Amino acid sequence: MPYIKVYIHFVWTTKNRVPYLNTKEIRAKVWRHIWENAQKKGIFVDFVNGYSEHCHCLVSLGAKQTISKVMQLIKGESAFWINKEQLVDGYFEWQDEYYAIGVSESRIETVRNYIKRQEAHHGKKTWEMERDELILKHGFEKYSD
């Protein structure tokens, strides 16, 4: 049995960045569902939070899990559930693209706290500002499967 501890900080947005998740109540339901559903699928979500048009999720990958498969399972099922529960007006979708950032053991608590503070963070910064900072800080280039 392998011993693995690989943390990934995932960030993704709603389709066209529509602010579907515009209340604390809706966000709380969605984040709780993502966490509970991930548990059922054997995905370890350490922390999940976000704001009206995006989600942050700190995940520890398992031995047979890939970044793309974890994203497919989390995003696909949660969008289906949001529509089934009619949590938002209109048809809910997540944007296809996402950001995935490796997190070292020494930075776990920092990333966890960053994710926890999304509500306050977005009182000062827009999603676009946050995205631009992510791209600049991590030197992102698009990767296609």
Q: Which domains, and CATH codes, for the chain? A: 6-138 (3.30.70.1290)
Residue 135 C-alpha from the chain's centroid: 16
pLDDT single digits (tens) 81-109: 999 999 999 999 999 999 999 999 999 99
| Alpha carbons 31 and 56: distance in angstroms, whole number | 9
User: What pLDDT, on a 0 to 100 scale, did the predictor assign at position 75?
Assistant: 98
**The pLDDT of residue 129:** 80
Confidence band (pLDDT; 50, 70, 90) for 145?
A: low
